[in-house]
Structure 1
Amino acid sequence: MDPVSPQVSRDVLEQDEYDEEDLFVEDAVLENDFTFRAVAVGLLVGVLLCMTNIYFGLQTGWVSMMSLQSALIGFAIFKLLPSLFPHFTPQENVILQTTAVATGTMPLAAGLVGIVPALEMMTVREDGREPIILSYGSLVLWCLAVAFFGVFLAAPLRRQVIVKEKLVFPSGTATAQLIALLHKIPPPAQSTHASSTTAAYRRIPRSSRSASPPRDRSASESPERGLRAGEEREKSIDDMGGSGWWMLGWSFAASAGLTILSFLFPILFALPIFDIFGLPFGTSLAASWVWYFTPSLSYVGQGIIMGFPVTLSMNAGMLVGWAVLSPLAKHLNWAPGPVGSSTTGVRGWILWVALAIMIAESIISLIPITLSYATTLLRHHRQRSAGPKVFQPSNSPRASNVTEDDYFDPQPDDADEDPEHEPPERLVPLSWVSWGLGASGVLGVVLVWYVFGQDGIHPWATAVGLVLASVLSIIGVRALGETDLNPVSGIGKISQLLFAVLQPGNVVANIIAGGVAEVSLYVAGDLMQDLKTGHLLHASPRSQFYGQMIGSLASVFVSTAGYKFYTSVYTIPGPQFAVPSAGVWLNLARLLNHGHLPSHVVPFMLLFGTIFGIISGIKAFKTRLPASVQSSPIVRYLPSGIAFAIGFLNAPSFSLARLVGGYIAYRTALSSGRGTTPLWAIVLASGFVLGEGVISIVTLALTSAGYGAVSCFGCGLGGGGYCSGACA
């Protein structure tokens, strides 16, 4: 069936009442969302994002799901080749970006920028054993062990947190809004009349139903509001239709060109601007204290995407960590080693303070989510235990809780609950979830035991890690849906604490166990954002599930090849790739098993952990505070603990470049008049990030072929980072 023009969908949404003919027209657009072209282009985009995430992940530990960029690039590909790819629908774009995200986020999901390099950083002196360096085949098996469990976890959680509770999932909602802008359809909104709309849909006989029920018309309740929204939407579409694509191309080219120039002249990415203050005294601040500036457009783009408040918190942490605590620890001989050392230097000393901040904020922020979930479960239990219920025959075609597709769809206990609006043929059956969780769990236990053997984690411990991930994923996904922050780092550290008791004295087991729990939660969380996008744009959840599985499987081999390529060319950790996440994993595992904390770091851990625990508690329970307190500047501008800690973990050069981007986002939001970053700024940032990430593959190939810097001019002044790596 040929897709219907998006204008038909808009006409349906603008009517006062729905009729069955309109339902069929609306659904005609939705029947063919899982297409070969959507998956193929999604894999292509995902491979680029995968290599980009390996590059940035090894540098700073920052990995993005890139859902906005995936939808944008995918749409651009189809727009540039309209004769080959006609009638590209919004639902196909959802499948495309779902596949791309599953492919692109595997570097973090499989621990390739965290636990895998942490295992390679072990030493005989510190850990009593040689480092574990996995071959390509073993690394593929490890990725296969952890790639799919989170995918099957996401499917059953969708109905609870997206359909019933309607959690926001900000990134998923933003991606849906961008896709709506690109395809010139009305922007999706959270349903406010879902029950009436769904009831009308369910009255249609099952044999006559098409793919999906109608969308909510909340956007058209006010003609004036709808007109204003339409004017803003058309302006954004006009920008994207012309100058927007040029902006994406030029920003990509500018970032790529600067990356190539920095490869040829490393001083460009290691400007020793702070050495000016040290020259009269014959010292080099940049060389001694890791203070230099990296004018990387990709990190400027990251700052635009992160926003001004986050980058401001990050730079506040950078100042406290690298300008206050580092000199203090060095001067008092608490960290006598080289400044950049993650073991005996100040980088390793302040890492513990950052870890205390991250754990404190993660645990405190989970408390209200846990209490809310526990209260909801208790209330439902009491309702069901209150007494026998009188059976009422259902008017719905679903006469049983188990459909012919074996999809479990319990009827709502309360009248205000929103039942599932998708028909069973578009959902992931319960039998698939049950068998998938069982098979992927067994596969994970067997492969982890095969890869690491008796010296690694016991099979029963891996199984416990998977069960723990299943339980914690409920809390983590809810936190992600409400705050857009996936507390994977805190939950991973909680797992490490638990396994220090279950399998003591084994650093390898501790790292792997924490990684297994974190990986499953990370995958489930990111894929839940995609399911939110699909829910708002009415893409088939089953088609998204197919895309997730295909993308995850492909990325197992792509991510492994990319990681092995980088580690064969560069020294990791090294001047260019510090791998800060690996240091966090390894140091905590050492501490919990047989290690000890650096000199005098405990008071600072307690101090900063307490401060950010209190800040996190204020944020978590802000709605219970008096209105005057909620609106006070002190509360509104409280820093993010995670961002503050990242300022400790990353070298100052990266934080400074992100601050530039954050300020750009702030200024453009003010000039837009709407208080949000405009679409053109997001397009600009996407080009910046992708430009350096993609061209890094070229510089990697050149380095492996024996090519290097053309000139090391300026590096002698003390420029670190790129200078240290290319001109050592």
Structure 2
Amino acid sequence: MFTFIVMKLNLTTGIIPSLNVSAGLLGFFFVKTWTKFLEKSGLLRQPFTRQENTVIQTCVVAASGIAFSGGFGSYLFGMSEKIAKQSTEADDAQNIKNPAVGWMIGFLFIVSFLGLFSVVPLRKIMILDFKLIYPSGTATAYLINSFHTPQGAKLAKKQVRALGKFFSFSFLWGFFQWFFTAGDYCGFSSFPTFGLKAFENRFYFDFSATYVGVGMICPHLINVSLLLGAILSWGIMWPLIYNQRGHWWQPADLSQSSLHGLQGYRIFIGIAMILGDGLYNFIKVLGITLFSLYRQFCVKDQGSVLPVASGVTPKNLMSYDDQRRTQLFLKDEIPPCFAVVGYVGIAIISTTVLPHIFHQLKWYYIVVIYVFAPTMAFCNAYGCGLTDWSLASTYGKLAIFTIGAWAGASHGGVLAGLAAWGHDEHRLNRLDLMQTSKAGYLTLASPRSMFVSQVIGTKNGLCHFALCVLALLQGFP
């Protein structure tokens, strides 16, 4: 169910809310119902614990996350012949690789499990040393802890009832709109609220519960920024640029979907702003991190810490709960050597295998990617712990420009850049599993159990859920 929801959002809005809390809630509700049935039947041997609830939530999030980080709404279809025909530069065999289940599973398998091994060495640093919040993981942990109390079952029933109520309303509203939709730009999905002239410039109301829900989850800053961007672009900039047709691009009647015309301005102005903001944050986080580490380890100033941390709390000042969590976290943690061996092993495999999947992606391109990978992984995990927002797509766009320019347009630079983007984005998005690691820390779940659950969820998401749901939604063989 979550894979279907994520895939639908990925192919429409491109904005995926955190599903950690929902996975923890529904996991508790369904398993608690099942265990009550077993208890009445006399078959229940052990009670349902919060650690099991956390492991279930971790597996669900790992499986459904593949639907977003797998690139099914971005780079995988960007390699297809259909998209390549929209650009004269990319419309050649060197830059085309049509989607197929075989190579997609192989590619995603390599980069997905590489991302899991990237998470392991960062857990102790981010959770214990820097004490980052990871808002979704913390909220999920508090929710699960509250469930497994005498009053928790009643709270869960109320929340599931509210979830079902608004789910039913959204479903019935979508079903109602279907009766008034005869085709594209028809019915409630394209209602000309501001008039037909504004409708021509894409200002209309679509009565979509999806966008309303995403807007309710996003902070005001995000919603206001999106509204301001829509007004500046579709209301002012694009109409003014379109009036320059024949002067700024030839011919004047060029299709608006062509990158040589208005579409080129739309895409590259937007990407330039996203890339500039992402590069600024990347340099800022990297600079603050390196400066703070320098003060801590070189100057030996124990009072200097990262801005987000309150320092490593001495054990005698920690609460009893924090002492127990830290003790279990360190006692049952995954050995760093295991993570390093796994990371290096998969890196060697990917350096060997990926050039056979994408002939344009040379082995030395991949080596360069892995040289900068730890820095990007650290910064993305750090930013995600602060803001709950992954910048994986922004870092991936850096790979498009660097690897694409290095390969050159005449040597499949478009396909090489997209493959490098997919490699970086999918690997960095796996760092979102740091949220579940934080939840496991707060619920006293075994780190090794969490890692095994992530592996199982990733495997199921790759082999079963994501591709099946994509085939259902897109209809490709």
- TM > 0.5 between the two? yes
SS at match of 2:475: helix
Question: Which residue of structure 2 aligns with residue 58 of structure 1?
Answer: 11
Q: Please list the CA deviations of residues 427-463 of structure 1 after superposition, one character each: whole Å capped at 9, or x if unmatched.
A: 11223212211232233233322222x3x20122123
Question: Which residue of structure 1 aligns with residue 369 of structure 2?
Answer: 465
Amino acid at match of 2:131: K
Question: Which residue of structure 1 aligns with residue 60 of structure 2?
Answer: 100
Equivalent in 256, 265, 272 of residue 356 of structure 1: 272
Q: Say if 1:473 and 1:521, in contact at 8 Å, map to a contact too.
A: yes
Is it true that 1:259 corresponds to 2:174 in the alignment? Answer: yes
Amino acid at match of 2:287: L
1:128 Cα offset (Å): 4.5
Amino acid at match of 1:521: L
Equivalent in 429, 433, 436 of residue 522 of structure 1: 429
TM-score, with structure 1 as normaliser:
0.55
Question: Which residue of structure 1 aligns with residue 89 of structure 2?
Answer: 126
1:367 Cα offset (Å): 3.1
Q: Please list the CA deviations of residues 39-62 of structure 1 after superposition, one character each: whole Å capped at 9, or x if unmatched.
A: xxxxxxxxx212221111111222
Distance in 2, Cα, partners of 1:260 & 1:339: 34
Q: Say if 1:93 and 1:179, in contact at 8 Å, map to a contact too.
A: yes
Amino acid at match of 1:495: A
Distance in 2, Cα, partners of 1:241 & 1:470: 43
1:126 Cα offset (Å): 2.1
Rg (Cα) greater in structure: 1
1:65 Cα offset (Å): 4.1
Distance in 1, Cα, partners of 2:89 & 2:408: 16
Shift in CA distance, 349/97, structure 1 to aligned 2, threshold 3 Å: same
Question: Which residue of structure 1 aligns with residue 415 of structure 2?
Answer: 508
Distance in 1, Cα, partners of 2:255 & 2:29: 45
Question: Which residue of structure 2 aligns with residue 444 of structure 1?
Answer: 350
Question: Which residue of structure 1 aligns with residue 157 of structure 2?
Answer: 241
Distance in 2, Cα, partners of 1:470 & 1:378: 18
Question: Which residue of structure 1 aligns with residue 69 of structure 2?
Answer: 109
1:185-334 equivalences in 2 (<5 Å): 240-242=156-158, 244-266=159-181, 267-274=186-193, 277-278=195-196, 285-286=198-199, 288-333=200-245, 334=248
Distance in 2, Cα, partners of 1:62 & 1:339: 28
Amino acid at match of 1:249: G
The share of aligned pairs that are identical, in percent, is 23
SS at match of 1:447: helix
SS at match of 2:348: helix
Distance in 1, Cα, partners of 2:161 & 2:312: 52
1:535 Cα offset (Å): 1.1
Question: Which residue of structure 2 aligns with residue 375 of structure 1?
Answer: 291
Distance in 2, Cα, partners of 1:119 & 1:148: 23
Q: Say if 2:275 and 2:397, in contact at 8 Å, map to a contact too.
A: yes
Q: Root-mean-square deviation (CA), in Å? A: 2.9
Amino acid at match of 1:160: I
Distance in 1, Cα, partners of 2:118 & 2:110: 15
Distance in 1, Cα, partners of 2:371 & 2:38: 46
Is it true that 1:164 corresponds to 2:70 in the alignment? Answer: no
Q: Which moved more, 1:56-65 or 1:67-76?
A: 56-65
Is it true that 1:548 corresponds to 2:454 in the alignment? Answer: yes
Distance in 1, Cα, partners of 2:140 & 2:264: 38
Shift in CA distance, 362/509, structure 1 to aligned 2, threshold 3 Å: same
Question: Which residue of structure 2 aligns with residue 481 of structure 1?
Answer: 385
Distance in 1, Cα, partners of 2:438 & 2:187: 41
Distance in 1, Cα, partners of 2:337 & 2:101: 34
Distance in 1, Cα, partners of 2:68 & 2:128: 28
Amino acid at match of 2:202: V
Q: Say if 1:268 and 1:295, in contact at 8 Å, map to a contact too.
A: no
Gaps of 5+ in 2: 301-310
Question: Which residue of structure 2 aligns with residue 623 of structure 1?
Answer: none
Q: Please list the CA deviations of residues 364-408 of structure 1 after superposition, one character each: whole Å capped at 9, or x if unmatched.
A: 223332122212332344268xxxxxxxxxxxxxxxxxxxxxxxx
Distance in 2, Cα, partners of 1:343 & 1:80: 54
1:348 Cα offset (Å): 4.3
1:415 Cα offset (Å): 8.4
Q: Which moved more, 1:116-125 or 1:94-103?
A: 116-125
Shift in CA distance, 346/157, structure 1 to aligned 2, threshold 3 Å: same
Distance in 1, Cα, partners of 2:343 & 2:381: 17
Q: Report the count of equivalent residues.
A: 436
Question: Which residue of structure 1 aligns with residue 120 of structure 2?
Answer: 155
Q: Please list the CA deviations of residues 196-236 of structure 1 after superposition, one character each: whole Å capped at 9, or x if unmatched.
A: xxxxxxxxxxxxxxxxxxxxxxxxxxxxxxxxxxxxxx7x9
Q: Say if 1:366 and 1:475, in contact at 8 Å, map to a contact too.
A: yes
Shift in CA distance, 338/421, structure 1 to aligned 2, threshold 3 Å: farther
SS at match of 1:421: helix
TM-score, with structure 2 as normaliser:
0.83
Question: Which residue of structure 2 aligns with residue 24 of structure 1?
Answer: none
SS at match of 1:158: helix
Gaps of 5+ in 1: 1-47, 186-233, 279-283, 385-412, 570-703, 705-728
Shift in CA distance, 532/269, structure 1 to aligned 2, threshold 3 Å: farther
Question: Which residue of structure 2 aligns with residue 400 of structure 1?
Answer: none
Shift in CA distance, 180/252, structure 1 to aligned 2, threshold 3 Å: same
1:309 Cα offset (Å): 2.9
1:269 Cα offset (Å): 4.2
